[in-house]
Amino acid sequence: MACGILILLFLSPLWAAEPVRLLVAFHSETGQTAALAGAVREGAARVEGVSVTLRRVEEVRDEEIRAAHGILLGTPVHWQTQSAAVKNFLDRMGRVLGPQYGEGKTGGVFVTSGSPSNGADLARLDVIAALLSMRFVVIGGLTGDGFGSLGAQAFGSVTPAAQEQARQFGERFARITTRMQKGAP
């Protein structure tokens, strides 16, 4: 009996462990970025102990920004950069998070674009620069060949291959964020 009580006392903190909270926030006009955001969320949700909130940037509440351990931003490419709605959301994040900004939080970005030459990399770099300025630890994705990338992407329509890349990106993001939050290397 005493042994059973000791085991329960030892394991109880594990049961009560708070989940790692991720926010997937996106702007979508045609439904393409929303579809990619859904795939990112699916991948992140594969990781045990992770709670994922999926919201359009205009629907995100301030407390969700503050509570998130990691924030993934999705944007369509507008004139080789992020959409105005995502830029406004980044500005809002800075105000909501205050002087500590994203210290100890992770960030990442995914994009949709009409074609590969429409500035997808430039748009991601703009968001990454903002996240780094707010002291987030930025997590990128992987290509199908295993090379590093700036994050998930889709050109034209969101193909099954782009959805799988987005799921892998979401899962990688959740795994690394979880390790950071638990203090594991």
Cα–Cα dist 22/65, whole Å: 9
Domain spans, the chain: 24-181
The answer to whether the pTM exceeds 0.85 is yes
CATH classification for the domain delimited by 24-181, as one of 3.30.70.2520, 2.60.120.10, 1.20.58.740, 3.40.50.360:
3.40.50.360
Q: Which segments of the chain does DSSP mark as H helices, in order?
A: 2-15, 32-45, 62-67, 84-97, 120-133, 160-181
The angle that helices 84-97 and 120-133 make with each other, rounded to 10 degrees, is 10
> Which pLDDT tens digits describe the chain residue by residue (185 residues)?
555 544 444 544 455 579 999 999 999 999 999 999 999 999 999 999 999 999 999 999 999 999 999 999 999 998 888 999 999 999 999 999 988 888 899 999 999 998 777 888 889 999 999 999 999 999 999 887 888 888 999 998 999 999 999 999 999 999 999 999 988 76
Which residues are 137's β-sheet partners?
106
